[in-house]
Amino acid sequence: MNDFSLLENIKRNPLVKITGDNLDVYVRSCLQGLGKQHMDMHLFASNLLSSRIVTTDMDNTMPTNIDLDPTSFLLQEYNADILRMSYKLLLSKIVSPRCVSFKWMESVTPTHMPHPYQAEMSEKSLVFQLPIQMRNEAKYEDCIEIMNNYEEVITKLFKDAHGNNL
């Protein structure tokens, strides 16, 4: 995806997540000499992911005057049935592929557990590649530089998307 779609996405939903991991590359030299040796490069790759569920228009108000009844913390029969059904489903998803005796369960096990955010979670995640950095996450100084780079890149992205009204 290009920078334009990234900026458009940030305009629509400014809540994002960042993932990062080391990217080690070992480069072998064809001819080794004093100036040409094998090279071990430590890079850091990052992605920016757009949130599919959490949006800025979600209700964020703190509840007031909450009157809690101690029995509200007890598991009601209806909730216990849902919990038991969820346990059965999860157990069948774990056991059936691993145990030959339970292979028959694969055909009767639902492939999806119903939940309130099914529509949002069925959409494709939007993932944007951030610049690869020549940093080694195992070094403290490089970790600081990675975080500084995140701050610079994200500040620039949000300023480009929303102007200087941050």
d(CA 85, CA 80): 9
- Whether 27 and 116 have beta carbons less than 8 Å apart is answered as no
pLDDT (tens digit per residue) in 130-165: 999 999 988 999 999 999 999 999 999 889 888 876
The length of the chain, given as a count of residues: 166
Quote the pLDDT of residue 1. Answer: 47
Report domain extents, the chain.
Answer: 1-52+125-166, 74-115
pLDDT value at 107 more than 90: no
Quote the pLDDT of residue 140. Answer: 94
d(CA 102, CA 143): 47
pLDDT value at 3 more than 80: no
